[in-house]
Structure 1
């Protein structure tokens, strides 16, 4: 046993099932350092799917510099939000949507938690679909046809690995993510270098600027929704074991750096590759389309890289979705909730791959519509963090009238009203293949930035409603008047 393993608590060790559920982690079991977040978020974003985002930028008419701007601002900006929300994990020692009971109430939190759970299950399903396509391509190199039977075999094989890592839990995931960063990060770099040899540099450099409304703003909204916003509801899940004295700035910094580096490289690779592969965004199987641009001897390493990188993303999603089920009140051990989500993931993926056979339409709509709910929730949570002095550990777990966060009938109506208004605002200005809001006109007809408007509205409304209640209610809601609060201090 290594020295590091000896320092880890019995309940959270690599390659053993994590024993904790959503209860706050006590000081005696806190361990690790903010630097581990670099590995967690780097590995979560090395999936080849990032190249597809680059194809989306090119298809929208962006030139090289506009694409770079969207890649950097969309990736880094959205993961700043993930990093800030992650700080609450070391304050309260509980998962993200369990901490959310503090601002929303033990019953009022059910709505945001349900949206979060659906988002995570959707993300893990999309990621597993993409990984299964890659594995199906790898089997094709062995002479096996892409029949429904082998499609299902590929899907189940990927899903089993994802579920296994999710079952084992936090410490195993941190170990897996660090190993995946080195192994698949280096392999991805090799693949990227080969893809760059296919670039038509004259075409890329000569491309004229695209429109700022239907081009830059539209794609920026997609990149933000598809990168950091999709992880905002999971940040604290991976910081709840960190010692209370861990630096909040370090948590934000390592989160942003770990996620942004691979995302910018992959997105820009997609931009360069689109000069030779303009139909990337319309491909039924984008993994195969990308692989066809590589020399034959690179096919196997490329597909292995694709599978491994995508599994490193899906394992985080299924772990967090299991925690969300517990926060919804499902009375099961944590590992059993992972199994439930695994079954739903396989069923959804099988439908898309064998029945619907459509990838980008559902993908775009899924991102945009769920972003309305997630960003409005994040806005309320961030405002709550600005006022918070600590979390009551018992109040986070007790869901009845005895909980400090029971408020009125289990609902903090200020937070719930602000959240719902933010969602409504977002939907009014949202454009997607499945739904178009009645106010999505002018610049919003092509930018789909409605969820950012929803963020502003939720934050402002919640702030004003809290202030309207008077300073005492502000402090009580934030924990400032409590003595001996076991949840910790809300300091950076």
Structure 2
């Protein structure tokens, strides 16, 4: 692939054997570093803000992260075997053109996370620079994200290693200061169990992990093909779950401090907690690097998804680096604009955003994993993923119908600001829509796909001399 300082030249096409590199350890550092960040702290705080005591919130978040992290890591394990971005593989289930339905929704997801994360990162940058105009921090952060995402895969993994080291040091200090300043009895004392808020905490944890699913294989696809799936799975799972749980636990504990002011000034509160002055400056840098890591994933994955959507209709299988970089720029420009106009009521909007994403992406995840591991049994016709007249066709009715049913079936179980489903009312307000989305979709799709799918007898991949240069 060339030196780490060069711009990545691959995009949606299969990665040839001679360009495969790295080890599963890189998956741990990337996903650990990407989760040691301020938005995960906010996500953990939401569990307490919306009713749970800190201890039960942490337990609920752990259950959700483990459940969602297992699903997410199963997607990651596909990367080395296929050598493809995650959403290209969706063509095997939905068809070359039909995959556009979940793809468009994935782009919206990336855009939403990029915009909401940019708001918090912009706050940190403005504090580092000692300026009052929040737009300055937002624009600078967007520019930094573009540089890393434009250079591509190697730079992203290098940033993950930096974020891991900085995250461990910064979050260890914040954890120490939190207990030193407020004490365990204040943070964890007298827990009271509430079923509804406990289920919300589980949903927040699961939603956090599940929404990584549509792009997680983008960052494992360069690993050698003979990398054990179990190793890739465990490295990704451990990095993502441990990193997110540390951040979310910190958020739940912060939110349990009486009259903490965290809701109105998340970044400022963390800086004050660190001790102000020079140490606060360091913590703001930790916040920026952590958010830069995950925002780069959003921009890079967003550009891959945009290209996957477009090339399904243009019949292209190769995209020049300059076009990939243009997609990264366009995506980030849009996210910066959203961040500039949508920074108000951040916490409430983010809660609803995460739970809505659960409704959209759990059916996709169920279909992709059931088909890959149970129906096709890891046998994919890779060239056919780029040919609408090939094995997978343009549209796959079973997957598309099942996907729509899986989304619609969750509506009665939703607990949203604008809509609460009738079954949710009967459950006292608990949102279990993501569980319905996973289980019902899998139950419908598996027998239907077993009857109608036509997987190859063995993996069919591009020969090395057929991979476009």
TM-score (norm 2): 0.91
Structure 1: unaligned runs, 5 residues or longer: 1-8
Q: Distance in 2 between matches of 1:186 and 1:20?
A: 34
Q: How does 1:241-280 map to 2 (within 5 A)?
A: 241-278=222-259
What is the CA distance between 1:281 and its match in structure 2?
A: 6.1
Which of 432, 446, 449 is the equivalent residue of 2:429? 446
What does residue 378 of structure 1 align with? Answer: 365
Question: How many Å apart are 1:278 and its aligned residue?
Answer: 4.4
Please report how far the alpha carbon of residue 463 of structure 1 lies from its aligned counterpart in structure 2 after TM superposition. Answer: 0.8
SS of structure 1 residue aligned to 2:15: coil
- Give the Cα separation in 2 of the matches to 1:234 and 1:486: 22
Return 267-276 or 319-328, whichever deviates more: 267-276
Partner of 1:314 in structure 2? 295
The number of equivalent residue pairs is 452
Alignment-derived partner of residue 397 in structure 1: 386
| Whole-Å separation in 2 of the counterparts to 1:198 and 1:54 | 20
Pick from 411, 433, 436 the counterpart of residue 420 of structure 2: 436
Task: Note the alpha carbon deviations across 1:24-53, whole angstroms, 9 max, x for none.
Answer: 112222211111100110111010222223
Matches within 5 A, 1:103-252: 103-140=93-130, 144=131, 146=132, 150-212=133-195, 214-225=196-207, 227-252=208-233
The separation in 1 between residues aligned to 2:193 and 2:367, in whole angstroms, is 35
What are structure 2's unaligned runs of at least 5 residues? 465-469
Moved more, 357-366 or 291-300: 291-300
Preserved contact between residue 98 and residue 396 of structure 2 (Cα < 8 Å): yes
What residue number does 1:28 align with?
18
Q: Distance in 1 between matches of 2:401 and 2:444?
A: 8
CA distance, structure 2, for counterparts of residue 244 and residue 483 of structure 1: 12
Query: Quick one: structure 1 residues 163 and 102, their matched pair in 2 at CA, closer, same or farther if it must change by over 3 Å?
Result: same
Correspondence for 2:272 among 264, 279, 292: 292
State the Cα deviation string for residues 412-466 of structure 1 (Å, max 9, x = none).
Answer: 11111111110001223111123333443222x5222212201111111111212
Q: Hey, what's the Cα distance between the residues in 2 that align with 1:302 and 1:173?
A: 21
**d(CA) in 2 for partners of 1:484, 1:323:** 23
TM-score by length of 1: 0.87
Aligned residue number for residue 467 of structure 2: none
Match of 1:5 in 2: none
* CA deviation vs aligned residue, 1:381-412 (integer Å, no higher than 9, x gap): 011012224222321223x32x3221xxx111
Mapped to 1, the partners of 2:179 and 2:199 lie a distance apart of 26
Q: Which among 398, 403, 412 is matched to residue 414 of structure 1?
A: 398
Q: Which moved more, 1:449-458 or 1:57-66?
A: 57-66
Once the two structures are TM-superposed, the CA of residue 219 in structure 1 deviates from its matched residue by: 1.7
Partner of 1:458: 441
CA root-mean-square deviation: 2.1
Q: Which residue of 2 aligns with 1:19?
A: 9
